[in-house]
């Protein structure tokens, strides 16, 4: 794996390499698809496991992660990239990778629906996948209040009570200490 | 977001001229080939009480479940047909299509996308029809109570006869619910179909509030 990262560094600028829980490399947005092509064709990472996104609302950024697998080396490599986070209804944009793996189409449709990230040129990108005719903020964005939306839309049944998990478990596991504190 | 318009598909079909056996020509709307949009009507019980009682006994003893697993609870239906629980001894059968079924088991959470299919399937079922709400999710949303895409109360969208609590309930609980449903049918209290017809506007308003691509007639059977 170290040899592979050395090889990548010769051609691409990597801003970050972590090996804490699996190997993840971070590259620039414009380099991402060419890096993926290099990893697929030269280094043998032939299998795309998933594409996922993280909403860093504080930094105003989306983090995309492409998780790749090499059947030959029996190892996985994550490619991370940061893209600009747009304010809804404007959509963020990223290059499509469907020409490398046809399965990328489905992940990109999901990201388009759940995060509002557009992949121009990806097939069927505008068709509804899970949500049909969604007209609010994409639900996986962190500025979308799912509890409020549910209460306004789906007629909550009265009588539901909630407990603070830490207090509740403390009382359940150590009832005597709870008495002392009270 | 540019979105595909499914409604266009039905509208694109052109009206056609049909000649009746008497030689009369009339226009047929292609929508009518696939849907009948007449509203449901209330079916009052038979005025002769013993006949109604006999009919209810027949309905209770021939329960035909629609094989449509709408959520994770559907996994509890499969063991019922195995030798261990053997639901067939209670007169329970599974059927492949809505038109052959009388009991609809909603297996757990109903997302909005599934809700559209549930409404279509429920309306296509022939009366008298009954609904079992399996798992907590059908009662108050269960663990998906604050989800953006899961309905909280099933009885706001279709009438429910018997609820089964638990997450997940055991297959025995489902058998018990079928037993309770039989008792309700025999005593003439399982009137979900009539309730749906009486409060049709209210149910439709609730359904249309969540199903945004409403591209079907108001009632189809």
Q: Which run of H or E residues covers position A23?
A: strand A23-27
Residue range B62-83, pLDDT digits in tens:
999 998 888 888 888 889 889 9
- Is B15 inside any structural domain? no
- In this predicted structure, the answer to whether residue B8 has a pLDDT above a threshold of 70 is no
Give the CATH number for residue B106: 3.40.50.12280
Tell me whether residue B110 is in a domain.
yes
Shortest alpha-carbon distance between residue A138 and chain B (Å):
10
Measured distance CA(B111)–CA(B205) in Å, rounded: 17
Give contacts of B210 with chain A, Cβ < 8 Å: 153-154
Q: Quick one: pLDDT at residue A179?
A: 61
Looking at residue B2, its pLDDT comes to 45
Query: Has residue B12 got a pLDDT over 70?
Result: no
What average pLDDT does range A44-49 have in this prediction?
A: 93
Query: Which pLDDT tens digit goes with each residue over A74-132?
Result: 999 999 999 999 988 889 999 999 999 999 999 999 999 999 999 999 988 988 888 88
Distance CA B152, CA B133 (A): 12
pLDDT of residue A178: 54
- Binning pLDDT at 50, 70 and 90, where does residue B18 land? confident
Please tell me the distance from the alpha carbon of residue A114 to that of residue B151, in angstroms, as a whole number.
Answer: 18
For residue A34, give the H/E element and its range: helix A32-41
Domain range A2-156, CATH class: alpha beta
> Does residue B180 belong to any structural domain of this protein?
yes
* CB-based burial, B69-102: b 16+ in 10 Å, e otherwise: bbbebbebbebbbeeebebeeeebbbbeebeebb
CA distance linking residue A9 with residue B80, whole number of Å: 59
The pLDDT mean for chain A works out to 89
> What residue segments make up the domains of chain A, in order of their start?
2-156
Residues of chain B in contact with residue A160, where contact means CB-CB under 8 angstroms, are: 140, 145
| pLDDT value, residue B126 | 87
The residue range of the domain holding B78 is: 62-210
Q: Is the pLDDT of residue B37 over 90?
A: no
pLDDT in the model for residue A174: 82
Q: What does the pLDDT read at residue B221? A: 67
| Confidence check: pLDDT of A68 > 70 | yes
Q: Which residues of B touch A156 (CB under 8 A)?
A: 140-141, 145, 152-153
Q: Give the pairing type, strands B25-28 and B92-95.
A: unpaired
- The pLDDT, as a whole number, for residue A175 is 75
Where does residue B41 rank: exposed (0-12), middle (13-18), buried (19+ CB within 10 A)? exposed
Per-residue pLDDT, A180: 58
Task: Give me the pLDDT at residue A134, please.
Answer: 87
Taking the Cβ of residue B1 and every Cβ of chain A, the question of whether any pair is shorter than 8 Å is answered with yes
Q: Does B57 map to a domain?
A: no
Please state, in angstroms and rounded to a whole number, the distance separating the CA atoms of residues A138 and A130. Answer: 12
- Please count the structural domains in chain B: 1
| Residue A151 clears pLDDT 80, i.e. is over it | yes
Q: Are strands A75-84 and A61-70 parallel, antiparallel or unpaired?
A: antiparallel
The residue with tokens 């092509």 is: A37
Does residue B169 sit within a domain? yes
- Structural domain contains residue B17: no
pLDDT of B141 > 90? The answer is no
Interface contact flag, A154 B210, Cβ < 8 Å: yes
């Amino acid at each position: 794996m170290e040899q592979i990262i050395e090889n990548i560094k010769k051609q691409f600028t990597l801003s970050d390499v972590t090996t804490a829980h699996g190997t993840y490399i971070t590259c620039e947005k414009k380099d991402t698809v060419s890096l993926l092509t290099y990893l697929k064709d030269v280094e043998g990472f032939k299998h795309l496991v998933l594409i996922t996104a993280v909403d860093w609302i504080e930094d105003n950024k989306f983090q995309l992660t492409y998780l790749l697998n090499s059947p030959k080396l029996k190892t996985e490599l994550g490619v991370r990239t940061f893209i600009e986070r747009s304010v809804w209804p404007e959509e963020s944009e990223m290059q499509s990778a469907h020409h490398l793996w046809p399965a990328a189409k489905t992940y990109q449709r999901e990201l388009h629906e759940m995060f509002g990230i557009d992949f121009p040129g990806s097939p069927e990108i505008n068709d509804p996948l899970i949500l049909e005719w969604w007209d609010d903020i994409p639900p996986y964005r962190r500025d979308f209040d799912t509890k409020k939306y549910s209460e306004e839309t789906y007629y909550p049944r009265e009588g539901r009570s909630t407990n603070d998990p830490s207090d509740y478990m403390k009382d359940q596991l150590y009832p005597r200490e709870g008495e002392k504190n009270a | 977001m540019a979105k595909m318009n499914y409604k266009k598909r039905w509208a694109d079909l052109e009206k056609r001229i049909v000649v009746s056996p008497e030689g009369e020509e009339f226009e047929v709307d292609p929508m009518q080939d696939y849907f009948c949009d007449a509203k449901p009507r209330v079916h009052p019980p038979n005025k002769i009480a013993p006949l109604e009682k006999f009919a209810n006994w027949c309905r209770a003893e021939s329960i035909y479940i629609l094989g449509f697993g709408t959520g994770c609870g559907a996994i509890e239906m499969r063991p019922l047909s195995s030798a261990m629980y053997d639901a067939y001894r209670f007169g329970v059968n599974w059927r492949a299509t809505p038109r052959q079924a009388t009991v609809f088991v909603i297996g757990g959470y109903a997302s909005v996308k599934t809700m559209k299919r549930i409404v279509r399937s429920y309306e296509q079922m022939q009366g008298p029809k009954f609904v079992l709400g399996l798992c907590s999710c059908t009662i108050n949303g269960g663990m998906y109570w604050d989800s953006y895409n899961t309905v909280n109360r099933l009885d706001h969208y279709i009438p429910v006869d018997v609820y089964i609590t638990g997450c997940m309930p055991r297959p025995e609980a489902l058998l018990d619910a079928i037993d309770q449903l039989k008792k309700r049918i025999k005593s003439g209290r399982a009137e979900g179909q009539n309730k749906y017809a009486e409060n049709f506007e209210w149910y439709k308003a609730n359904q249309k509030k969540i199903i945004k691509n409403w591209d079907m007639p108001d009632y189809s059977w």
